[in-house]
Structure 1
Amino acid sequence: MRLAGKCAFVTGGRQGIGRGIVNAFLSEGATVTTCGRGPRPGGLPEDVVWHELNVSDPAAVNIIAEATDILVNNAGVQVEKTVVDTTDADWELVMGVNARGVFNCCRAFVPLMPKGGSIINIGSISGNVADPSMALYNASKAFVHGLTRSIAVDHGPDIRCNAICPGWIETGMLDAGFDLADDPAKAKQDALARHAVRRFGKPDDIAAMAVWLASNEAAFATGQLFVIDGGMTAASPLYPGLF
């Protein structure tokens, strides 16, 4: 029960990584509030508070902001386009949620967080290395990484702030990426060969890191980007698994 007595707010807790973090925090004894754009999802434990919230709206975020020990900025969207194909509406959607949404929540929650608070931003390996046809998504995650460092520097020692940078995790976003390939099945097989652990990640893999970062065990960790990608970005293009 590493999070016993702590209150957590997790954005984007409807499904995928966010839902995995909500469940993991509950199992470690935290009181959890989460949110999403639509109505309360089915199957969410009754003791979890749900807010219908668009994190890109600063006024809406300010209304629900409250004193909390742990803030997880997980809400995110993805558009599979190059720069030249990207529309203004795409910009408003992706940068609004992935970049401004994280900024809005940090700005609203930081003044309310008690000493010893922990902010965990969900970045991506796409903020470090560019995925093809993901121009805005890549850029939005790079923003999250930079903001993470700034918050750690500006608001330490009272608040720690770190980012988790997932690799390819089994969610709807992963499937959408493979759908861009001429042969999605072959692309998936090739991708698996690039992982040292020979599998894609699961939401629970990211949730486990979130629990550690939220706990007192991570008291000396701040301003860091923790890559959780099964060893994919550790390998050179000549990685033996491809041959």
Structure 2
Amino acid sequence: MRLSGKRAFVTGGRQGIGKGIVDAFLEEGALVTACGRGERPAGYPAEWLTLDVADPEAVTAAAASIETLDILVNNAGVQVEKTVVESTDADWNHVMDTNARGVFNACRAFIPLMRDGGSIINIGSISGTVADPSMALYNASKAFVHGLTRSIAIDHGPGIRCNAICPGWIETGMLDAGFDLAREPAKAKADALQRHAVRRFGQPRDIAAMAVWLASDEAGFATGQLFTVDGGMTAASPLNPGLF
């Protein structure tokens, strides 16, 4: 029970990585509130707030309803599968409002509530370091998250630690949407799988395990860092290991 008695707030907690983190935090004894744009899912195991993190006034109101906080996880995110020249102003607003401004809104609102020893965990991406094709805005938004993570760690330590988890290909709806961009989706997916040293794609629980550690007192010396959890994919050279 590494998080016993700690209060956590998780954005984008309905499904995928967010739901995996919520479940793992509850198993470790945390008191968890999650949020998303929709209504509370049936049978949801944690407290729920209907909240759009892109709305600064709504985020401020949500923070006002919580007295103190130990853990903030900024997971809410969207993607648009387009290049720069294909992207519209509406695409920019859709991606940046959630992925970039949403993280900023939550950090600005919740940092004043965080107790000494608090932990902020931003969900970045390997796409913020190495670019996935035809996802220009998503790549850029995650690079913003990485930079903001470092700034928060410097500006708000030692009382608050701030780190980012950078997932690779995790089996959520976003994974298939990415491969659907390929000329031959099945071939592209098989090639990507071969490039993983562990020979599998990630699961939400893989990211949740890192989140639990970063939220716990065990990670007391970890701050301002980007933790890549991608099954070894970005460790490889451009050569296809399946040919050697």
**Shared topology, TM-score over 0.5?**
yes
Q: Give the SS at the match of 2:120.
A: strand
1:240 Cα shift? 2.3
Distance in structure 1 (CA, Å) of the matches to 2:56 and 2:111: 14
Aligned positions, number:
241
1:242 Cα shift? 4.3
- After superposition, the C-alpha distances for 1:30-59 in whole angstroms (9 at most, x for unaligned) are 0000000011112311xx110110000000
1:49 to 47, 50, 55: 47
1:182 Cα shift? 1.3
1:11, 1:73 within 8 Å by CA — same for their partners in 2? Answer: yes
Distance in structure 2 (CA, Å) of the matches to 1:240 and 1:173: 25
Q: Residue 19 of structure 1 corresponds to which residue in structure 2?
A: 19
Task: Give structure 2 stretches of 5+ with no counterpart.
Answer: none
Give 1:109's aligned amino acid: F
Give 1:72's aligned amino acid: V
Equivalent residues in 2 for 1:1-12, closer than 5 Å: 1-12=1-12
Distance in structure 1 (CA, Å) of the matches to 2:42 and 2:141: 30
- Give TM-score, length-normalised by structure 1: 0.98
Distance in structure 2 (CA, Å) of the matches to 1:68 and 1:111: 9
Distance in structure 2 (CA, Å) of the matches to 1:111 and 1:31: 19
Distance in structure 2 (CA, Å) of the matches to 1:23 and 1:111: 26
C-alpha change, 1:132 and 1:2, in structure 2 (3 Å) is same
Q: Give the SS at the match of 1:56.
A: coil
Equivalent residues in 2 for 1:71-86, closer than 5 Å: 71-86=72-87
1:174 Cα shift? 0.3
Task: Give structure 1 stretches of 5+ with no counterpart.
Answer: none
Equivalent residues in 2 for 1:208-219, closer than 5 Å: 208-219=209-220
- After superposition, the C-alpha distances for 1:114-169 in whole angstroms (9 at most, x for unaligned) are 10000000000000000000000000000000000000000000000000000000
C-alpha change, 1:24 and 1:242, in structure 2 (3 Å) is farther
Distance in structure 1 (CA, Å) of the matches to 2:240 and 2:131: 19
Give 1:3's aligned amino acid: L
- Give TM-score, length-normalised by structure 2: 0.97
Q: Residue 221 of structure 2 corresponds to which residue in structure 1?
A: 220
Distance in structure 2 (CA, Å) of the matches to 1:142 and 1:152: 16
Give RMSD over aligned pairs.
0.8
In percent, how many aligned pairs have the same letter?
Answer: 80
Q: Residue 32 of structure 1 corresponds to which residue in structure 2?
A: 32
Distance in structure 2 (CA, Å) of the matches to 1:43 and 1:134: 34
1:239 Cα shift? 4.4
- After superposition, the C-alpha distances for 1:169-224 in whole angstroms (9 at most, x for unaligned) are 00000010011111111111000000000000000000000000000000000000
Give 1:143's aligned amino acid: F
Q: Give the SS at the match of 1:114.
A: strand
- Which 4+ residue blocks in structure 1 deviate beyond 2 angstroms? 239-243
1:241 Cα shift? 2.9
